Structure 1
Amino acid sequence: MTSSKGLPFQKTIKQLRAKATHNLAMHHPHAWHVIKQEEASLDHFVHETEEMAAASALTGALLIGGVSADSVVQAQIIPPENTPITENITIEKPSMPIHATLSQTLRRTVPATPQKMDIQTAAIVSQKIKSITKITVSSELDGMTLNTDYGYMGAEQHLPRFPGDTVADHESYKASGITPKTGAFGYFADTQDSLTKEMIEQEKYYMAVQSFLSPQWDGSGMHYKDWIQYRKVLVINPINGKGVVAVVGDAGPATWTEKQ
């Protein structure tokens, strides 16, 4: 007659193993995701019955020991006695998205209210943006500046890109309408046939700046206008860290709007 004394113990081990796997996946999805990505499932380091206790201890440390999934967790699975091999398992903290890092960083740096930042603050902001996005930016270029580098923005209408252009010809945001006249720099193209993809993108991602309030405007308005036309600018919302590379396509808004 065959003995079955070992079956209850084996069943208990399997149940504990399944429960440990379930708890790790449910309570620490980030850690479980990393393990699955590296194809290092519990089966990878649990081969023998004795090692099962060590795996359960690791799970218990994650769930009970106060170790959060946001920190780096290192665990050693110690094999049975007389076995010289120790396997290390490292679960690394997931990196933050770029926009989240930008938001967290800029909100600690920019002023509380819209204003022209002082030279030191502007330099710090520029350095932090470059460090995070790898984009080189500056609040001053060729001796030219805007009247402000931190302020409130409002939505604008489409600009006519060529004579006879209508809002129906634009790809999106048709509800915004189109201005009855050209922007400060005239049409983007002389005719619809000469409209290039670059011009379409320039109008699509244009912004208006109060060039008439710039320190360099007085006495050299035309020079400043030529310099700033379609100049690329990086616009970032410090609240959510999201940004866009745009071009200066118009002058405005008026000061009474209380927007910059």
Structure 2
Amino acid sequence: MYDFRTKLKLKSIEAQSDFKKNFPEAHQFLLGKGLELKNLRQYSAKLISAGAITGSLLLTSPVNINQLPAPIEINNKNLIPQENFINILQKLLPSEVRPLARDEEKRLEVIISDILKIKSKATLEGEHLNTVYGYIGAEQHLKRYPGDVLENHGPYYKEGIAPGLGAWGYFAKSKTDLTSTLEETEKWYSVVQTLYLPDWNSRQPYLRDWYKHRKLLIVNTINGNAIVTALADSGPAAWTGKHFGGSPEVMEYLGGARYKKGAVLVFFVDDPENKIKLGPVVYNDLSGKDLLKI
């Protein structure tokens, strides 16, 4: 005679066999999920236990709630967008310039997209600068074609024109080949330290082509002025203490005639369809008020 435990086991095996025979598709589905009929009772017990624990946590008063970071209010209706943007940057950015952590970069991406309406990324197509938070310095005009001279780069003559070429050479083969698009590229050009990228030498010529005239969003972290630029040179040298550079026009817009160095954010512009124009981002138009300059 079989004892009661043995009878139950045989009944279980019989039930499993009937289930496999009558419901083959359901049986295969469970196997695909890593579930077996003989262990369903154990799975059910675990689910019930997990539910009980979750319920107790929900009913328990939270502790150390004051230690949680305060949420950042992105849309403050009492401030014009640029004032709001400045306040948020002051709360999020460290007091000293340094490379940011990935979670810090992600929060800034969301805020920039929401307020400036520019989709930007710290990492784009797998590429990332050594830092997105650093100091920018003033650069000279670049020669756009053979024979180009400073007099062709008004009205900002004070910075002069670089004696050499940018990292990608001339913008056009001749003056007649210089299109309005290429004129804008040189006018609003920026500089980043591609030469210090850890894989710059090992991934040529791909990186050289990828970075050429790549759109970059530069934000003055003090006054909130933002501008879309085109990468056209490599530098500055590490010993200068600067991480980025901007054309005379870029620097004038970011901080005015006396602006030679300052803390900025630099993000890639995610613009696969090339719809975003180079130049100033006047996002205060959203509120119908004049652009704030500090």
TM range (shorter): 0.5 to 0.7
Structure 2: gaps (5+ residues):
1-75, 244-294
Say yes or no: does 1:129 pair with 2:112. yes
Instruction: Name the CA distance, whole Å, in 2 between partners of 1:124 and 1:108.
Output: 12
Letter in 2 for 1:193: T
Instruction: Name the CA distance, whole Å, in 1 between partners of 2:239 and 2:229.
Output: 24
Instruction: Name the CA distance, whole Å, in 1 between partners of 2:177 and 2:132.
Output: 34
Partner of 2:239: 256
Q: Identity of counterpart residues, as a percentage?
A: 37
Give 3-state SS (helix, strand or coil) of 1:107's partner: helix
Of 207-216 and 179-188, deviating more is 207-216
Partner of 1:242: 225
Aligned length: 168
Would the aligned equivalents of 1:99 and 1:241 in 2 still touch at CA under 8 Å?
yes
Q: CA RMSD in A?
A: 1.5
| Deviation sequence 1:239-260 (CA, Å, 0-9, x none) | 1111110011100000000000
Instruction: Name the CA distance, whole Å, in 2 between partners of 1:155 and 1:243.
Output: 16
Instruction: Name the CA distance, whole Å, in 2 between partners of 1:246 and 1:95.
Output: 30
Partner of 1:114: 97
Partner of 1:80: none
Letter in 2 for 1:229: K
Correspondence list, 1:71-220, <5 A? 95-220=78-203
Would the aligned equivalents of 1:229 and 1:249 in 2 still touch at CA under 8 Å?
yes
Give 3-state SS (helix, strand or coil) of 2:169's partner: coil
Give 3-state SS (helix, strand or coil) of 1:215's partner: coil
Instruction: Name the CA distance, whole Å, in 2 between partners of 1:204 and 1:110.
Output: 29
Give 3-state SS (helix, strand or coil) of 2:106's partner: helix
Deviation at 1:114, TM superposition (A): 1.9
**Which has the higher relative contact order, 1 or 2, with Cα contacts under 8 A spaced 6 or more apart?**
2
Letter in 2 for 1:149: V
**TM superposition score normalised by structure 1:** 0.62
Instruction: Name the CA distance, whole Å, in 2 between partners of 1:183 and 1:256.
Output: 19
Letter in 2 for 1:147: N
The runs of at least 4 consecutive aligned structure 1 residues that moved more than 3 Å come to none
Letter in 2 for 1:214: L
Structure 1: gaps (5+ residues):
1-92
Give 3-state SS (helix, strand or coil) of 1:246's partner: strand
Partner of 1:5: none
Deviation at 1:110, TM superposition (A): 1.6
| Deviation sequence 1:27-59 (CA, Å, 0-9, x none) | xxxxxxxxxxxxxxxxxxxxxxxxxxxxxxxxx
Give 3-state SS (helix, strand or coil) of 2:146's partner: coil
